[in-house]
């Protein structure tokens, strides 16, 4: 594994609309009498304020490949936030946002 220099913000799980950078909130649906996680909302970890929703499961297009862990979530796909002003891209792995590359100044 690569030793990244960049900090990896923790994904804070919140029970409301995520507000702060890196916060995530799970969205549950009632499916035939039981409650299932259908997706996740996240606030971009870079601090730009962008929010994106990620759907999970066989009906999702795409299925972001949640690992099923609601305290240290991972998504199998690389993540970008379309309205992000800094172009942040990376992964959510075991509850941490790992940037694909460090921004050079």
List residues binding Zn ion (CB under 5 A).
44, 46, 48, 50, 84, 88
Alpha-carbon span 87 to 63, nearest angstrom: 22
Nearer to Zn ion by C-beta: 51 or 70?
A: 51
Closest separation in Å from C-beta 41 to Zn ion: 14
63, 41 contact by CB (below 8 A): no
Closest separation in Å from C-beta 89 to Zn ion: 9
Nearer to Zn ion by C-beta: 64 or 88?
A: 88
93, 76 contact by CB (below 8 A): no
Nearer to Zn ion by C-beta: 41 or 70?
A: 41
Alpha-carbon span 67 to 26, nearest angstrom: 13
Closest separation in Å from C-beta 36 to Zn ion: 29
Nearer to Zn ion by C-beta: 29 or 78?
A: 78
Closest separation in Å from C-beta 8 to Zn ion: 15
The separation between CA 81 and the C-alpha centre of its own chain, rounded to angstroms, equals 10
Alpha-carbon span 63 to 15, nearest angstrom: 22
């Amino acid at each position: 594994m690569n030793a990244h220099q960049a900090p990896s913000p923790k994904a804070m799980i919140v029970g409301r609309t995520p507000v702060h950078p890196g916060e995530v909130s799970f969205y549950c649906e009632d499916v035939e009498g039981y409650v299932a996680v259908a997706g996740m909302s996240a606030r971009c970890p870079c601090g730009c304020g962008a929010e994106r929703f990620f759907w999970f499961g066989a009906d999702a297009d795409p299925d972001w490949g949640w690992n099923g862990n609601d305290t240290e979530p991972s998504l199998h796909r690389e993540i970008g936030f379309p309205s992000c002003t800094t172009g942040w891209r990376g992964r959510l792995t075991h509850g941490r946002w790992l940037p694909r590359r460090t921004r050079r100044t």
